[in-house]
Amino acid sequence: MMIKGLFRFFGRLFRYVWSWLDALRRTLVNLVFLLAIGVVAALIWRPAPDLPDGSVLVLRPAGALVEQTRIEDPFSLLRGGNGPVAQTALRDLLEAIDGARGDERIQALILDTDGLGSAGLSKLSELRAAIERFRESGKPVLARGDRFTQAQYYLASAADEIYLSPDGFVLLRGLARYVTYFGNALENLGVKVHVFRVGEYKSFSEPFTRADMSDEDRANSRDLLNALWGVLRDGVVVGRDLSDDTFERYVMDFGGVLAEHGGDGARAALEFGLVDHLVTRDEWRAMLRARFGREVETDDDEGIDAVGLSRYLAHLRAAPEPSARVAVLVAQGSIMDGQGTPGSIGGDSLAQLIREVREDDSIQAVVLRIDSPGGSAWASELIRRELELTRKAGKPVIASMSSTAASGGYWIAAGADEIWAHPATLTGSIGIFAMFPEIAGPLDRIGVSVDGVATGPLAGAFDPRRPLEPRAAEAMQIGIEHGYRRFIQTVADARDLRPAEVEMVARGQVWTGEAASKLGLVDALGGLDDAVAAAARRAGLEEYAVVWPEGRLTPRELLLRQLSEFVSGAPADSRAARAVDSPLGGMLGGLVREAEALLQWNDPLHLYTHCLCESP
């Protein structure tokens, strides 16, 4: 009896302790949940801060300059990852600069470019145009960097004054396009890559079949780089009031220029007129205090009053908006079938978003902002058709091309009433292809054989373990040629051209936006603001708000978006941008991106309209 009583006592004690621990667990979970809700509420519904007179707007773009930031998990840091990749949305910078232009409380604009990473030339050009509009108001624009990469300096060259660290430099390297070719390696391994394409300039598959650049790709690439370099060169020469000879000497004989100045890159940049002053960080802060009567934020000081991007946007967006709205939908990344993945365009998801906007009576016009080299032909047509239906429903549709809108990116643009491109946009690449790898050779070499039966000639024909059936290859090429004719006809109908006229500028050729406008592939040259204004004109709107629908975000995605923006909104560590700009980092990063893109391709017919092009 004593033993039973002892067991009963310990049983009751265990149940009591367990109940207490369970109640504590539930309490802690509820507290964490409430805390998370509080954090989200604080991040989303924060009131617009006061904006004192004499404020200075400080813009410090961090990481890649993109059309739309991706939703990434900020908690990856806790799992040993690198955390969210820094990104800055172009639209946020444009909105802030244009808003500050007429804001009497803003007396100057400061650019800190040290954190800026990769950025398409057209995006930088749009930013420079906004800065030039700001300067027209009579307010000064100052830029400073510890050092300037080519992209950073192109942006900074729009400022009234440029300041550089005494230990810094301005590196203007020119533009280049070098491709890694795997043709010999795959041949040595016994791997065959069957390519089906139409258009001798459609070069996407060449890295897998060749050991060098084709004559067509070389000629097209040279023309593109020369045109884009002209845009960059003219912007710097005009912005800095340089002679062409001075600029060319600095770029073409940088080693000689350094030698003349004892290896002092900062002094060389000053003497050549690329910068106005050499100042240390503390001298920079002292100059700003003396000039503008207040401290301005820097990377290494805390508690200094400033008007940064997030704070100023919160102020701008707190104002009441007109009831009429123009929706800007972003198509950024490779085009994929289905819902897509972060950083890509899902054919189904974007088509659904277009339908939702079409059925929203509060939206009077649509702008599709495209920054894509293409991808799935099936998904591209799905998106184009939804744009066409939106036009038929009475809502104007304008396509606005960002840095790249080529191949499938151009296909979806064909669904718009008007196509706007920046002069430095890469577009065209009207062509189609398919690739099929065959690894029968390597398997045979190690003694692995494949055998079996099939009920038809195409059953198992695309098994990479077996040699490709000739009848399957013939069928694939026929399908490719049909897809190409469909692409040509789609463009001809959209541009009011004859198919033969489209064929002359197609065959996979890539054009700059300026060249495309002369060829009839785009309607007008201009940036995002111009495209939005065009959409408003077609809709008969004088006062309107611009909205950026993104589809339905889950509570988890909304939380991650806010936390990611909160984390990335902190002072940027420019080392990340510099790592990407390093030769090794750029090479490895490019290979990883290409491999990830190939693994995600999922067109149901394996037909792709993709361009091996990327704006510098």
Catalytic site positions: 202, 407
Give the three-class secondary structure for 63. Answer: strand
Q: Between the CA of residue 238 and those of 157, 158, 159, 160, 572, what are the distances in Å?
A: 9, 9, 12, 12, 30
Per-residue CA distances from 161 to 67, 143, 233, 278, 575 (Å): 28, 6, 18, 11, 25
Q: Is residue 112 classed as helix, strand or coil in its secondary structure?
A: strand
Buried-state track 209-238, b at ≥16 Cβ within 10 A, e below 16: bbeebeebbeebbeebeebbbebbbebbbe
Lookup: tokens for 577: 């941008």
| Two structure tokens written together for 276 | 């106005």
Cβ-defined contacts of 574-583 (< 8 Å, 24+): 574/114, 574/115, 574/146, 574/299, 576/63, 576/85, 576/86, 576/115, 576/117, 577/62, 577/63, 577/86, 577/114, 577/115, 577/116, 577/117, 578/149, 580/117, 580/118, 581/117, 581/118, 581/149
* Selection from 521, 431, 406 nearest residue 483 by Cα: 431
At a CB cut-off of 8 Å and minimum separation 6, what does 133 contact? 97, 98, 101
Give the sheet arrangement for strand 374-376, strand by strand.
Answer: 192-198, 432-438, 608-610, 374-376, 335-336, 345-346
Nearest residue to 121 (alpha-carbon basis) of 150, 94, 143, 96: 150
Measured between alpha carbons, how far is 97 from 529 in angstroms, rounded to an integer?
Answer: 13
